[in-house]
Structure 1
């Protein structure tokens, strides 16, 4: 994995974690509010309004990312669809529309998420998007069954309507358990850091387990009107969400660093693709270069007068902080090449040709290399260089 892609993944994860913390707090408050709904018959518009506010914030965040990542316009559209879904649910609370019709934006959002997983350039992000698609489809299918049951189209027991969520909860708990067992074995053998894998395990396993308990207690309340059981389930689920948010906030910086180290370790283990030798050609041209520093040259379009040449030479001597004679890559040959278009030097002709042939980037700025200039006369003003470039260029 390239360094730029790793940095992009980390930025994506940072923003996701930052957004997850207030989201957990909002859902925790909604869970506590359900206690008031059961006890005093409060309206469900309030928790839906909090979730609507969260979705509006997600739209603003996605809009800010569009400037940097072009594929984020799909994320904006997905956030708008989810916001519209919550807004329609509020209308359904007042019986303005049927509940099942309120899910239309959610159905469209599921299809959009599939497209988003292909547009995102990050392999790690694709995995997370696929996991998100599975979870959202599970909630969507459960929502359809609940809507049909609410409208008395079907008469299934309430507990059976949540079968897609039971499947996700089971898979999440099993996966989290196997993950922490593997990490504990590595901790015993190689003394790896165990605190952050434990944090991940507690969040996945704990949220899945308490959410399952919440669903069971909800069904018990609907069937038997047992308020105490449902209140207990809401309190446990809401408290764990709040605990998860606070712990994530407390160790946020260390979690990001742990994920960054995991990315770099994974990237180091990836097999490197074999170098592809590109066909090259030599062109003898008279070009003019101005030496800016010991490793940087600038091309000049026209011939410089002798007086200007002396001035450029003096500037070059002042700007050069050191004199590099040996190649920065092999440390054996003399520096006699410049990479184009970035203008960086400090390497020998053999190493520069190898970089161009294998399609690698500049050793200093990591920009792509189009041509190589071999310096035949070395001075602050350089002429009679040999241009080496791809045959297809």
Structure 2
């Protein structure tokens, strides 16, 4: 096992740890640890809400989830000799739930959760159809996930970090804030908002204190979106065996990681759509000097996915086009097309007895494949969503016999109002 360079104690909150990480992006956050090039390390990670979500049958914690506190990230990790213009080479050697802790209150201790966020608290990909908060709890048995809230489904998780990235430069941070502020200004009262501006409230900035903390907290970027440094990309295939090449913008690269997922479908469509958990990740870190110019990778990571994904051989795929539910034609709107494909899949699964919310949870948590299938044939783009048929206890393929109804059980808990 590699040396643990960022340890976490499950009995303590994130801010009470031996080494304190951060929940905002800012170049002035000092490195929490320093490692040599060509070294392997283990990093402990907390689930993104630091224990605010519970293993129970209420969704009130999802309704009240404190978005101002996320994501709690382990890092920054400085790599010896890394300079702006280099590429940081990150090999994911292993990743999983909290080791030897398989029954306890923290997500990652034998269980995880998926949430549909209420529109007023972030929403989700299908927030117009699902405006309220719901939660599903999943139990882990080895690599398999099952849920008392979504019966008749089990699948092997593609375990991965939802969020990993390098620190931005001051210039890059300024560009993020300027362009996102301009977007917010186009509709400042929108719910959910168009973007999340800097928020000093609940900011955790590692070792920064005093005036330096106050100054940085006022301009530090939220961790919710993916950006040029990587960040919250939610790529389900960044699993064990993957190699990622990140642009380096500051000395040391200052890599941070968190938001571990036991499993996720393409798009993480419910917003908290993966199976969220805490755990560990083993990384090998190295540098390609001058790699950004050598390979033309000046923004956004490139990666080589691992080969440990579960192997599904049969799929049922649904398609959608860029036409709204009320019949309005949109021009090559691939986002809308994927929404329509997902809604078609949800409608289909309800014929087997699942509630719409259970079906939505399946698409968020199970290893579905999402694809842009046609983006050139005006006016309609086409997107597709592929469901692996083997994850269901019943045969979901269409036949003359009709759908086999499952018992939906207690269903997915909905929050009170």
Q: Of the two structures, which has the highest relative contact order with CA contacts closer than 8 Å and spacing of 6 or more?
A: 2
TM-score by length of 2: 0.22
Q: Which is higher, the Rg of structure 1 or of structure 2?
A: 1
Q: TM-score, normalising length from structure 1?
A: 0.23
The structure whose residues are more often strand, as a share, is 2
Select the structure that is richer in helix.
Answer: 1
